Chains A and B, each alone.
Chain A
């Protein structure tokens, strides 16, 4: 079964760092772009950026450039989203998702992780 499994919910304080993960299985992880999507409480979906694990090509939305870091470890089929200094406004649910066509980001998201809820509060 093709799936993406994300790490569990996190509660952090402002200024702390955080890395959440997204592990792919059931397919060749290096061949498909992975995107990250933010959903703030009660709000819509926002594309943050994506990575091609095969060569670590990374693209960011201008809205998130410099705010987060996307990476991947292809040896363990896992993508990451990292914050160096969290803010209360980072409170949201974060999804990873796979672009459906091999080797390109010109594809819809066909497989989604279950989401990781990140709560930032003092």
Chain B
């Protein structure tokens, strides 16, 4: 199995901050990586696919980068609606795996 390691597990930030979340894979994924946002009690929402492609309707303050084994999700200027948990997911094979999640909290 491909293991996904997200960091940090928790991130405290303020409205207007620029934040970055990192996801590392145990083997190369090419660009087969997605990022999701999940709010309590709700289904995850796709933000980024193929490492850097912005899903339709997602604000442009979200961006993704990376390839191979290291990937980042950046939120350029945090908005109140962005406080949530974020997950990366690799889909380099049928055996998808998710990172353990990063909880983004209000400082």
Number of interface residues of A (CB under 8 A): 23
The interface residues of chain B, by DSSP majority, are classed as loop
Residues of A within 8 A of B96 (CB): 35, 47, 105
Beta-carbon contact of B89 and A46 below 8 Å: no
Q: Complex: how many Å from CA A106 to CA B31?
A: 11
The number of inter-chain residue pairs (CB within 8 angstroms) is 60
User: What mask results when residues 76 to 107 of chain B are scored 1 for a CB within 8 Å of chain A, else 0?
Assistant: 00000000000101011011111111000000
15 extra interface residue pairs, beta carbon distance < 8 Å, beyond A47-B98, A62-B1, A110-B55:
A35-B96, A44-B87, A44-B99, A44-B101, A45-B38, A46-B98, A47-B95, A47-B96, A47-B97, A95-B44, A106-B92, A109-B34, A109-B44, A110-B49, A112-B44
Interface residues of B (CB under 8 A from A): 1, 32, 34, 36, 38, 43-46, 49-50, 55, 87, 89, 91-92, 94-101
